[in-house]
Amino acid sequence: VDFFAAADSGQPLEITSNQLEVFQQEQKSVFSGDVVAQQGEMTLYTDQLTVIFDGQNDVSRVEAIGRVRIEEPLRHARGNQAVFDRAADTLILSGNAEVVQGENRIAGDEITLFIGQNRSLVRSTDSGRVRAVILPEKKPESP
Amino acid sequence: MLTVRRILALLILLAVILLGLVVWRHLQQAPLQEVLEALSPEIDLALDHLNYTETQDGRKRWTLVADRAEYLRAGNLVRLTPVQLTFYEAGAFGDLGLTADHGELQEDTRQVDVWGGVVIVGEGGERLQTETLRYQDQQRLLSTAAPIHYQAPRMELTGVGLVIDLQKNTMLVKKDVRMLLLPEPQENSGEN
């Protein structure tokens, strides 16, 4: 399951929101209110988005909090929170996390997507269970 | 024959004439009060090439330069055209240079209002453009309600309404925020 390949880091990242607060010292920008972040064919919607930069204005970490929705042409994901860490190359969805691709669906308390490795780890805390529905690919009907 | 007495009389006459000339020439330069009358009635004093630096504890805080400064009688106000303001050691923002077509300095509160082609440039090449801006020295705040356009290396930001806190090193954009982050130019990223 190939997640978030549509977020091509070679593309501009555009973020719109109602308000923005920049913390110059910490090189941190906090967008709040109807936040939409778009890069390539991936679009992320959330209530608040914190973007942390490294020295060269490169994004090193993104934290989305509140009604997170990530949409791509072939799949979408949902959760209360999402954290993208560039160094680890991971996207961690948490809080009623769910990823849907066509009729396939995985859900749990926390879904970790290892972006470069096309691998994901679904975890449930407390007594919750991981739920996964993976439908076999339909075989073409023999003539 | 010219006696001594006659020469003396001549000298005295000459001195009187000279003195008269000096007084007469002085009268040609209208007295200060009349010069003031020549300015518009609301202006106390006008200065060209104003250069003013505000310091605190011996350190420069900001410098104000204006081609022309007019001290207005009422309101303790100085009208400035055009305006250059340099903020020193503005925290993480470094030194900031501001230029604008017009400005007004409130002498008592040290508040400066500027308008007309307002541009702020940071040390790292950051550039902020807007139409009006207020600087409140006591709170070290820069603020506007107008649209802003901010550019930094590989970043562009637009919005409406802004507050920069030079003490807390924060910048708040109040409305209609759009930030565009551009990727590293392709040829560079190829080398890493």
Distance from CA of B120 to the nearest CA of A (A): 16
Tens-digit pLDDT profile for residues B61-88: 889 999 999 888 777 899 999 999 999 8
Closest to B188 (Cα-Cα) out of A98, A58, A17: A58
Percent of chain B with pLDDT over 90: 44
Tens-digit pLDDT profile for residues A41-80: 999 999 999 999 987 778 899 999 999 999 998 889 999 9
Q: Which residue has the higher pLDDT, B14 or B161?
A: B161
Nearest residue in chain A measured CA to CA from B170: A23
pLDDT at B190: 47
pLDDT at A133: 67
Identify the band that residue B107 occupies on the pLDDT scale cut at 50, 70 and 90.
confident
Residue B172 contacts A where some CB pair is shorter than 8 Å: yes
In angstroms, the CA B82 to CA B100 distance is 6
ipTM for this model: 0.84
Identify the band that residue A2 occupies on the pLDDT scale cut at 50, 70 and 90.
very low
- Which one of A22, A31, A48, A49 makes the best mutation probe of the B interface by having the most chain B beta carbons within 10 Å? A22
Identify the band that residue B48 occupies on the pLDDT scale cut at 50, 70 and 90.
confident
Residues of chain A with C-beta less than 8 angstroms from the C-beta of B184: 56, 58
- Contact at 8 Å (CB) between B98 and B76? no
Candidates A9, A17, A57; nearest CB to B152: A57
Place of tokens 């982050």: B181
In angstroms, the CA B132 to CA B110 distance is 17
In angstroms, the CA B182 to CA A56 distance is 11
In angstroms, the CA A83 to CA A97 distance is 12
pLDDT of B34 over the 60 cut: no
Strand partners, B79: B70, B104
Percent of chain A with pLDDT over 90: 48
In angstroms, the CA B14 to CA A60 distance is 90
Q: What is the CA radius of gyration of chain A?
A: 16
CA dist list (Å): B147 to A22, B98, B130: 17, 17, 6
- Contact at 8 Å (CB) between B104 and B112? yes
| Helix (H) and strand (E) counts in chain A | 0, 10
Predicted model pTM: 0.78
Q: What is the CA radius of gyration of chain B?
A: 28
How many CB pairs below 8 Å do chains A and B form together? Answer: 70
Residue B183 contacts A where some CB pair is shorter than 8 Å: yes
Residue B192 contacts A where some CB pair is shorter than 8 Å: no
Q: Which residue has the higher pLDDT, B190 or A23?
A: A23
From chain B residues 48-87, the ones with a CB under 8 A of any chain A CB are: none
Tens-digit pLDDT profile for residues A89-124: 899 999 999 999 888 888 999 999 888 777 788 888
Tens-digit pLDDT profile for residues B124-146: 889 999 999 999 988 999 999 99
In angstroms, the CA A114 to CA A92 distance is 9
In angstroms, the CA A111 to CA A1 distance is 13
pLDDT at B31: 47
**pLDDT, chain B, mean:** 83
From chain A residues 34-93, the ones with a CB under 8 A of any chain B CB are: 56-59
Identify the band that residue B162 occupies on the pLDDT scale cut at 50, 70 and 90.
very high
Do B170 and A22 lie within an 8 Å CB cutoff? Answer: yes
pLDDT at A118: 73
Residue B153 contacts A where some CB pair is shorter than 8 Å: yes
The DSSP 8-state label assigned to residue B191 in this structure reads H
pLDDT of A30 over the 70 cut: yes
